[in-house]
Amino acid sequence: MYTQALNTKDTSDTSRPGDSARLAVFQATIDAEDKIEANDWMPEAYRRTLVRQISQHAHSEVIGMQPEGNWLTRAPSLRRKAALLAKIQDEAGHGLYLYAAAETLGVRREELYAQLLSGKAKYSSIFNYPTETWADIGVIGWLVDGAAIMNQIPLCRCSYGPYARAMIRVCKEESFHQRQGYEIMLTLCRGTAAQKAMAQDALNRWWWPALMMFGPSDTDSIHSADSVRWKIKRFSNDELRQRFIDATVPQGLHLGLTFPDPALRLDEASGHWQHGEIDWAEFKRVLAGGGPMNAQRLAHRRQTEDDGAWVREAALAFAEKRRQAKVTRVAAE
Amino acid sequence: MSRAEAQQAIALGDDALVLGHRLSQWSSRAPTLEEDIALSNLALDLIGQARLFYTLAGEMEGEGRSEDDFAYFRDASAFRNVILVELPNGDFAQTMMRQLLFAAFMHPYFAATAEHATHAGFRDIAAKAVKEMAYHVRHAGDWVIRLGDGTAASHRRTRAALDALWPATGELFEMDADETALAASGVVPDRATLHAPWQATLDRVLGEAGLARPDGDAHTLTGGRRGAHTAHLAPMLEDMQSLARAHPGATW
C-alpha cells in the first residue's frame, strides 16, 4: 500500500579508488533521466538507500494486510467481501514485487523479513492504528491509498529501473483501491444515520495519521540531498502533503463530512487548503514502536512465520528429494 | 420442481461460501506470501461461485431474496453445506487436504453439470466453476504431495489431516429424495457416478504423497445437508453475519 518518507540519511563512506569516473557516468545517466539497472555500477550509499526504502515499502504492504484483514470475515455483503479479499491479495502482490525489486540490489527476502521481525526495519506508521469499524475500510482506501498514490506517483520516475517499474504497476492498483474506498465512504454517507456517523468517526480517527504518512515537516526533516540528486525523491514531504490535502478536502466535503482540524481553511490567494499543526510527538512515538497496534502487528507476523516454518521446510525437503531422484535417474541412463 | 432446484442451488452456494470463508481466514497467515495470494485466489473463486448460486436460487424461488439474504440472514440450521467445508482450517496440511477432498469431487461434478445438465442456470455456473476446480485440485494436490513426501513432521501432519477429514467425505455422495429426483430428470448429476473419478484423483495424489487411502468409515461426520451441523458452523456465521445483522435494511 505504501511507502513513507522516513528520511534517514546514509552517512557511511565506502568509496574506492576509481569510483569517481564511474560516479560521473552514474550521475550523468540519472541527469539524463535514464534508468540505473541492477547490473550497473552504483554508489554503495545509493544501493543501501534503495534497499532500505524498497524494503520498508514492501514491509508496509505486508503489515498493511492486517488492519484490513480485521474486517475481512465480517464484510457486510458478499460483493464487499470479495473486493476486500482481492484488495488484500493485491497488497501481498505488491509486497512480492517490491521484495523482488529489493533482491535485484543483492539482498535476500529472508534477510529483509528478519529485519522486519526483529523490529530493526521500519514500516509505515499508519498501520499501527486499529481498524475499529467497517468505515475504517472505506477510509483506508480513500485516505491511506490516496496518500500512498501521492507518494508513489513520483516514484514511477525513480532513477532505479526495477523500483520505478514495480511502482507503475502498484500505482495502477492503488488508484483502483482508492476509488473503491471512496465508493464505500459514499455508500455509508448516503446510508442510515448510523452508517454516516460511522464514516465521520473513521475520518476523525484517520485524518491526522494519514497526514503523517508524508513524513516529517520540511523544517524538521533531515532530508538527504542525495535522494534528490539521485532522483529517488522528487518532491519534499510538505509539498506532497499539501497536494494530498488539496485533493482530499473537497472529496470529504462532497461526502458531507467534516475534518477534525479547526484550523483547516481554503486560502483564496494561493488556492491551497491550510491546515493545523500535526502532532509530531505522536508521529515519533508511533514510528518508534509506541503506537496502539505496533506490538500486535509484529506479533501476528512472527506467529505467521513460526506457524509456517514446517511448511517451508517440507517444501525444501521435497524439492531436494526430487532433485536427488532426478540426478540418480540421469546417472542411471 | 423449482423449489427442489432452488434448494439444490442453495446447497451448492452454501458449500462454496462456507469453504470460501474458511479459506479467507488464512489471509495474512499463510506460510509464504505466494501462498497467501494463492489461498485468496481459491477463496475468491468459491465466494464468486456462491454468489452465482445464491442469485440463481433467488430467481428460482421468485420471492426476491438476494445473494446477501442467503449469506447473511439465515442461521446455521438453515445452511445446507456438507460438514467437510465447515470444519476449522486446522494447520496448513488440513486446509490443503480438505481442499483436495472437496475439489476432487466438485471438479467432476461441475464437468458433468456443464456437459449434461438440462437447466441452463446450473450449466452456465458449472462451465465457469469447472475450470476453477481444476486449479484447486492441482494446487491442493501439489501441496498434499509436497507435504506428504516432505519431512517426517509434514508427513505426520498430512496423515493426521487425512484421518481427521476422511469421516466427512461420505456426505459428498449423499442425495436426498429431492436431489435423486432432480438427478433422474437430468437437472443435476447423480453423485454416485462421481465416486470413481473422485477416487482416481485421490489415489493418484495420495500415492505420490506416500499416503494410503484410509479404510475407516467415511460417513460418520454427516448431516450438514439436513441442517444438522457441527458446533463449528454457528460461531463462524455469527462472526460473518455480525455487521450485516447489526444494521438490518442498510445498503453497503
Q: From the CA of A324, how many Å to the nearest CA of chain B?
A: 13
Put simply, the answer to whether B24 touches A85 (Cβ < 8 Å) is: yes
Residue of chain B whose alpha carbon sits nearest to that of A95? B33
**pLDDT at B149 exceeding the cut of 90:** yes
Q: From the CA of B250, how many Å to the nearest CA of chain A?
A: 7
Do residues A293 and A127 make contact, with C-beta atoms less than 8 angstroms apart?
Answer: yes
Confidence of residue B20 (pLDDT cuts 50, 70, 90): very high
Cell of A130: 486499529
**pLDDT at A2 exceeding the cut of 70:** no
Chain centre to alpha carbon of residue A230: 20
Q: Which of A62, A81, A180, A192 is the best substitution to test chain B (most B C-beta atoms within 10 A)?
A: A81
- What's the CA gap between B117 and B129, in Å, rounded? 14
Contacts of B154 in chain A (CB under 8 A): 310-311, 313-314, 317
Interface check A132 vs B, CB under 8 A: no
Do residues A283 and A216 make contact, with C-beta atoms less than 8 angstroms apart?
Answer: yes
Do residues A122 and A298 make contact, with C-beta atoms less than 8 angstroms apart?
Answer: no
Put simply, the answer to whether A77 touches B252 (Cβ < 8 Å) is: yes
Interface check B252 vs A, CB under 8 A: yes
Q: From the CA of B28, how many Å to the nearest CA of chain A?
A: 6
- What's the confidence (pLDDT) of residue A166? 93
- Interfacial B residues in 11-30 facing A (CB < 8 Å): 17, 21, 24-25, 27-30
SS3 content of chain A, % helix, strand, coil (to 5): 70, 0, 30
Put simply, the answer to whether A92 touches B40 (Cβ < 8 Å) is: yes
Please tell me the least confidently modeled range out of A17-21, A27-31, A157-161, A227-231: A17-21
- What's the confidence (pLDDT) of residue A219? 82
Put simply, the answer to whether B145 touches A318 (Cβ < 8 Å) is: yes
Q: From the CA of A92, how many Å to the nearest CA of chain B?
A: 6
Give the SS3 label for residue A160.
strand
Interface check A89 vs B, CB under 8 A: yes
Do residues A62 and A301 make contact, with C-beta atoms less than 8 angstroms apart?
Answer: yes
- What's the CA gap between A3 and A126, in Å, rounded? 10
Q: What is the DSSP string of A249-283?
A: HHHHHHHT---S-TT-EEETTTTEEE-----HHHH
Chain centre to alpha carbon of residue A261: 25
Contacts of B252 in chain A (CB under 8 A): 76-77, 79-80, 134, 184, 187-188, 191
Contacts of B242 in chain A (CB under 8 A): 74
Put simply, the answer to whether B34 touches A96 (Cβ < 8 Å) is: yes
- What's the CA gap between A261 and A259, in Å, rounded? 6
Do residues B136 and B75 make contact, with C-beta atoms less than 8 angstroms apart?
Answer: no
For chain B, the distance separating the N- and C-terminal CA atoms, rounded to the nearest angstrom, is: 34
- What's the confidence (pLDDT) of residue A227? 86
Q: Which residue has the cell 469431487?
A: B105
User: How big is the CA angle at B150 (ends B146 and B154), to the nearest 5 degrees?
Assistant: 95
Do residues A97 and A173 make contact, with C-beta atoms less than 8 angstroms apart?
Answer: no
- What's the CA gap between A253 and A31, in Å, rounded? 41
Total H helices, total E strands in chain B: 10, 0
**pLDDT at B23 exceeding the cut of 70:** yes
Predicted TM-score (pTM) of the model is: 0.95
Interface check B156 vs A, CB under 8 A: no
Cell of B135: 486449479
- Cβ contacts of A302 within 8 Å, gap of 6 or more: A117
Q: If you average pLDDT over residues A8-22, what whole number do you get?
A: 69
Domains of chain B: 2-245 (1.20.1260.10)
**pLDDT at A11 exceeding the cut of 60:** no
Question: pLDDT tens for residues A42-51?
Answer: 999 999 999 9
- What's the confidence (pLDDT) of residue A223? 55
Contacts of B44 in chain A (CB under 8 A): 82, 85-86, 89
Do residues A161 and A231 make contact, with C-beta atoms less than 8 angstroms apart?
Answer: no
Q: If you average pLDDT over residues B230-239, what whole number do you get?
A: 98
- What's the CA gap between B190 and A52, in Å, rounded? 59
Size of interface A-B (CB pairs under 8 A): 138
Put simply, the answer to whether A76 touches B43 (Cβ < 8 Å) is: no
- What's the confidence (pLDDT) of residue A288? 87
- What's the confidence (pLDDT) of residue A218? 85
Total H helices, total E strands in chain A: 13, 2
Name the nearest CA neighbour of A228 among A55, A46, A106, A51. A46
Q: If you average pLDDT over residues B210-216, what whole number do you get?
A: 94
- What's the CA gap between A152 and A166, in Å, rounded? 10
Q: Around Cβ B193, how many Cβ atoms within 10 Å? A: 13
Q: If you average pLDDT over residues B42-67, what whole number do you get?
A: 97
Give the SS3 label for residue B179.
helix
Name the nearest CA neighbour of B205 among B121, B142, B119. B142
Interface check A296 vs B, CB under 8 A: no
Confidence of residue A91 (pLDDT cuts 50, 70, 90): very high
Q: Which residue has the cell 456517523?
A: A197
Residue of chain B whose alpha carbon sits nearest to that of A133? B243
Question: pLDDT tens for residues A235-280?
Answer: 999 999 999 999 999 999 999 999 999 999 999 999 999 999 999 9
Q: From the CA of A282, how many Å to the nearest CA of chain B?
A: 27
